[in-house]
Amino acid sequence: MTGTTATATGTAAGDTASRVLVLNSGSSSVKYQLLDMRDSSRLAAGLVERIGEQTSRLVHTPLGGGGGDKRERTGPIADHAAALKAVAEELAADGLGLDSPELAAIGHRVVHGGLRFSAPTVIDDAVLAEIERLVPVAPLHNPANLTGIRTAMDLRPDLPQIAVFDTAFHTTMPESAARYAIDVETADAHRIRRYGFHGTSHAYVSRETAKLLGKAPEEVNVIVLHLGNGASASAVKGGRCVDTSMGLTPLEGLVMGTRSGDIDPAVTFHLKRVAGMSTDEIDVLLNKRSGLVGLCGDNDMREIRRRIDEGDERALLAFDIYIHRLRKYIGAYYAVLGRVDAVAFTAGVGENAAPVREAAIAGLEELGLAVDADLNSVRSEKARLISPEYARVAVAVVPTDEELEIATQSYALVRGVNA
Ligand SMILES: Nc1ncnc2c1ncn2[C@@H]1O[C@H](COP(=O)(O)OP(=O)(O)O)[C@@H](O)[C@H]1O
Ligand SMILES: CC(=O)OP(=O)(O)O
Ligand SMILES: [Mg+2]
């Protein structure tokens, strides 16, 4: 933590590359941000969605200087390589092209890093091979991450490409939380254990929650609820993850947009032996046709709430199942931590869906948990408390920023400073 303070001492603008491009490649989308790490400001941000379909869409927002108007492109974008080339063109149109000498690194979200990577890592052939080896345990994510990395390497072979792993923050989990209770030899031979995901978000949000409470991360125990399309909970004790709801793959745990979360593993035997489904069909069923979409046909919480308001019973049942699972994890992690200082809601659903927060915490006063209806209804991009003053445990909405965290870690690595 001492010595090289390249970022703190700084240098005149232009003579040290200070920009980081962050790529978050999902199965059918790429989110990106270009940041200036001298002040962590965003110069541009955007999203390419529905990659591989006829109706692909790129939305690019210039944010540097006075900003500028959002630009949108529609029409087929065949694959992640084409998507990244389109992003590079949009950045170039703002004078922020990938050829810029200001660019210090490209930071990539990589979902599965197994046990080998507990910190941000400069990508070389060996790292690429390891990410490739882990494709079977992150089939929706790692292939897209790899394409993003390879395309970025083609565009700027001279630049450090940094991998920031979703699994890294969870490598501190004790064996009691990380191991499945199955035959140890079989588990070890096939590296079967609970790895956990969304770690960049859990790390960032637990630190921001401590900040909101005016404390150091070491002083607080936080339950983080990352509720996006993929969703996971984590128990963070004094800044270190001690348990999380996702496992060998991002399928375990909470009910998600399209994933089942926890089920009895015997369901899969039954589907195979009795329903005659193949392993691949079961994989697709549990990862893509389950969760909220499987229960009611919609995976967007906005749509589900709209249907509930119209009296739709399937939507209501889907919501109730989602909430029931979430409450079980809050209770479980309360017991894992012993003392809880805060419960933090984050990601698309956690940051925006007040009814989810209300239902998740309702009736838990005995645990020191409560939500104030007025505070809960406030819409804001800022971290904020939604618990009443009397409550023993803080309940907070803490917007996640995986891209900022990836940029911070990537820049620290290329500058040789601790993040
Ligand atoms: N205003 C809103 N109200 C309720 N839910 C919302 C709102 N905005 C977004 N969401 C939910 O957030 C989800 C997307 O979350 P996000 O964290 O962006 O997911 P991901 O990163 O996995 O794509 C949507 O599917 C939707 O369910
Ligand atoms: C790991 C995971 O589930 O990621 P996402 O929420 O981006 O799908
Ligand atoms: Mg996400």
How would you write the chain as a 3-class SS string? CCCCCHHHHCCCCCCCCCEEEEEEECCCCEEEEEEECCCCEEEEEEEEECCCCCCCEEEEEECCCCCCCCEEEECCCCCHHHHHHHHHHHHHHCCCCCCCCCEEEEEEEECCCCCCCCCCEECCHHHHHHHHHCHHHCCCCHHHHHHHHHHHHHHCCCCCEEEEECCHHHHHCCHHHHCCCCCHHHHHHCCCCCCCCCHHHHHHHHHHHHHHCCCCHHHCEEEEEEECCCEEEEEEECCEEEEECCCCCCCCCCCCCCCCCCCCCHHHHHHHHCCCCCHHHHHHHHHHCCHHHHHHCCCCHHHHHHHHHCCCHHHHHHHHHHHHHHHHHHHHHHHHHCCCCEEEEEHHHHHHCHHHHHHHHCCCHHHCCCCCHHHHHCCCCCCEECCCCCCCCEEEECCCCHHHHHHHHHHHHHHCCCC
Question: Does 172 map to a domain?
Answer: no
Question: Does 181 map to a domain?
Answer: no
Question: Does 375 map to a domain?
Answer: yes
Q: What is the mean pLDDT of residues 47-76?
A: 90
Residue 281: which domain range?
A: 214-402
Instruction: Say how far apart CA 119 and CA 139 lie, in whole Å.
Output: 22
243 and 369 share one domain: yes
333 and 266 share one domain: yes
| Ligand 1 center to 170 CA (angstroms) | 23
Average pLDDT value over all residues in the chain: 93
Confidence of residue 170 (pLDDT cuts 50, 70, 90): very high
- Residue ending a domain, among 124, 149, 165, is 165
Report the number of distinct structural domains present in the chain: 2
Question: Does 176 map to a domain?
Answer: no
Q: Over the stretch 356-415, which tens digit does the pLDDT of each residue have?
A: 999 999 999 999 999 999 999 999 999 999 999 999 999 999 999 999 999 999 999 999
Q: What is the mean pLDDT of residues 272-295?
A: 97
Q: What is the mean pLDDT of residues 10-16?
A: 43
102 and 220 share one domain: no
152 and 294 share one domain: no
pLDDT cut 90: percent of the chain above it? 88
128 and 219 share one domain: no
Q: Which atom of ligand 1 is nearest to the CA of 347?
A: 17
Q: What's the pLDDT at 419?
A: 57
Residue 10 pLDDT > 60, yes or no? no
Confidence of residue 418 (pLDDT cuts 50, 70, 90): low
Q: Is the CB–ligand 2 distance for residue 228 below 6 Å? A: yes
Q: Look up the ipTM and state it.
A: 0.98
Q: What is the CATH number of the domain that holds 40?
A: 3.30.420.40
Q: What's the pLDDT at 12?
A: 34
160 and 242 share one domain: no
49 and 139 share one domain: yes
Residue 11 pLDDT > 70, yes or no? no
276 and 375 share one domain: yes
Question: Does 193 map to a domain?
Answer: no
User: Which residue's alpha carbon is at the smallest distance from atom 2 of ligand 2?
Assistant: 230
Question: Does 306 map to a domain?
Answer: yes
Q: Which two tokens stand for residue 100?
A: 């810029």
Confidence of residue 53 (pLDDT cuts 50, 70, 90): confident
134 and 235 share one domain: no
| Ligand 3 center to 291 CA (angstroms) | 16
Q: Provide the greatest CA pair distance for the chain.
A: 69
- 312 catalytic, yes or no? no
- Residue ending a domain, among 165, 196, 229, is 165
Q: Over the stretch 115-156, which tens digit does the pLDDT of each residue have?
A: 999 999 999 999 999 999 999 888 889 999 999 999 999 999
Question: Does 171 map to a domain?
Answer: no
Residue 216 pLDDT > 70, yes or no? yes
User: Which residue's alpha carbon is at the smallest distance from atom 6 of ligand 1?
Assistant: 349
pLDDT cut 70: percent of the chain above it? 96
Question: Does 72 map to a domain?
Answer: yes
* Minimum mean pLDDT range among 99-103, 401-405, 414-418: 414-418
Residue 335 pLDDT > 60, yes or no? yes
| 302 annotated ligand binder | yes
Confidence of residue 65 (pLDDT cuts 50, 70, 90): confident
